[in-house]
Structure formats: C-alpha cells, structure tokens
Amino acid sequence: MKTLLDALRSSAIRRWLAAGALLLLAAPFADAATLQEAADLPNRWGPNPTASDYGERYDDLFALITWLISVSFGIMLILLILPVIRDRSREGHKASFDHGSSLQDKRFTAIVSVIVFIVLDAWVLVIAVKDLREAYWNIPRDTEDAYRVEILAQQWSWNFRATGADGEFGTADDIVTINDLTIPQGRPVVFNMTSKDVIHSFYVPDMRMKRDANPGAINEAWFRPITAGNFDILCAELCGFAHYQMGAKLHVLSPEDFPAWEQDASMIAVAAFDAEDTEAQWAWDWKE
C-alpha cells in the first residue's frame, strides 16, 4: 500500500490522472458536429444489418445463445465466489477442503448439468433445426423466378457463371465473371458450387450464408437479397498461403436495374465467346 501511495504522489502519475479527469469532464460538452460524426461511423461492435430475408433468424439465434451463455457465466461466477468468501480462513473459522465426492455434491452437479443441457443445448438445438428446415435447407428449386449461379472455387479466386437469355448453362451467352457477382434484389438466388483444387467456403456475411465448396462434389445454397448494394464475399476455409486474398464483391441490383445489366452482360459474353478456350468451358448440368 505504501508503494502505491508513493507512486500516486509522483508528478508524472498526477499529470496523467489530471489529464484523464479533464477528458471525462469535457466529454459532455463536445460540440454537436463531433457527436454526429461519431454516430455516423459504422457499427464496429456487431455485424451489419442482415441483407437477406432469412438473416434475422441467424441474428435472433446468435443473440439468444449470447444471452444464455452470459447469464450462465454470471451464475457460475456467483456459485464459485460465494464458497470462496463463505469458507475462507478467518478468525474463528478454519478453511476446509474436499474433492466434491460427497452424495450432496454429486446431486448438485447432476442437477446443474441437466439444467444446462435442457436450457442451453436442447433449446438452442430445437430452434436451430427449425430454422434450418424452414429457411437454410428450404431451397426454392421449383421457383420460376429463381436466379441460378454456378460457382467454381480455386486457389485463390471465385469463378461465377450465370445463364444468359437462353436460361441454360454452358452456352455462349453465359455471364462468366471472376471475383465479381451481380444478382437481382428480391429474387431467390440459388447456387451450385464446387472446387477445382482444395476445400473452400463461400461466405457472404451480410446475407448470413456460408457453404463449403468441395472438390469432386456439388453443394447447394441459397438466399433472397432484400437490400440493394455492394457486399463482401469471403472464403471461410483455410485454403493455402494466399487464403487471405480470396475475396470477391457481390452487387445486388434493384428489380428496375437488373434486367438492363443482364442484357448488356449477355451481349458482351456472346461477343467475347471463344469456343476454343477450353479453360473457360467449365460449366456443368445444373444439379439439385
């Protein structure tokens, strides 16, 4: 204690404490412009608002798990701190120690385990399975307005292919892009994806969608974008030394803008089509 008081008496420490106190006192009087700039900054403490129609399910489940774990953590801290305070060594009381092998301790452990399993594990599992069946696994395969995209992942880029006006893959008007995908807002977007080399993971955080792309297999995924704009596409699977470079951009166009873009992109694809470029002919028959 004496050492701490001596340190506080030093001029350097006093200056730092004084500066901190002044900042705290001045904070309420910051000008309105500064406060507005701070309010307009991106949210750095959580994910962006969901841009897909089933994204709220993910957010709600994530929030539920966070609250359940936080409450459980708080309860366990109390259960650990109370015995430390109650059974500590003090005047008139000698601290005791045991291995928790008594029948009472075993009953208490069993009760806590059952409560944790039912409240945390079973409850969350039921909600997660319900969301998977009703949304993530409920791929709209028979929907006429579904926009279909084939994805070929490779070290370290994303190859995208969408059908042109003929609605078939592997033809001259296929819209083929690298690390850049444009899709329509409000329509379900269904993906067929595979990998050319190693396992990759197609991850669109704002759409709350992630799906592995495995070599030798074709996996399905989907989402319906509800917000127009530009979003990030990432690889969520460690796929080699340049894994960090495997990013792409997703452009969601409004229903008014997308048809014109699709028509122009198909015309460019037809003009640039080269039947002898076998490397570009990687399309496959759509799998469901």
Range with lowest mean pLDDT among 75-89, 176-190, 191-205: 75-89
Quote the tokens at residue 82: 């109370």
DSSP β-ladder status, 200-204 and 209-213: antiparallel
Residue 156 CA to residue 178 CA, distance in Å, equals 11
* pLDDT confidence of residue 84: 81
Q: Which of 170, 174, 213 is nearest to 191 (CA)?
A: 213
* pLDDT confidence of residue 35: 47
Range with lowest mean pLDDT among 2-16, 67-81, 134-148, 270-284: 2-16
CB 249 within 8 A of CB 240: no
The dotted CATH code for 147-275 is: 2.60.40.420
Burial classification of residue 189, based on how many CB atoms lie within 10 Å of its CB (0-12 exposed, 13-18 middle, 19 or more buried): buried
* pLDDT confidence of residue 208: 92
DSSP string, 213-253: E-BT--EEEEE-B-S-EEEEEEE-S--STTGGG--EEEEEE
Cβ within 8 Å of residue 227, ≥6 positions away:
49, 51, 185, 206, 252
Quote the tokens at residue 138: 């409920």
Chain-centroid distance, C-alpha 282: 29
Render pLDDT for 125-184 as a digit per residue (tens, 0 to 9).
899 999 989 899 988 887 778 999 999 999 999 999 998 878 889 888 889 999 999 999
DSSP β-ladder status, 189-195 and 219-223: antiparallel
Quote the tokens at residue 254: 């409004």
Residue 23 CA to residue 47 CA, distance in Å, equals 30
Render pLDDT for 203-239 as a digit per residue (tens, 0 to 9).
999 999 999 999 999 999 999 999 999 999 999 999 8
* pLDDT confidence of residue 177: 92
* pLDDT confidence of residue 8: 46
DSSP tag of 93 = B
Residue 107 CA to residue 113 CA, distance in Å, equals 10
Cβ within 8 Å of residue 165, ≥6 positions away:
173, 263, 266
Residue 244 CA to residue 256 CA, distance in Å, equals 35
Cα angle vertex 45, ends 43, 48, to 5°? 50
Residue 206 CA to residue 227 CA, distance in Å, equals 10
> What is the edge-to-edge ordering of all strands in the sheet holding 147-154?
175-178, 157-162, 147-154, 189-195, 219-223
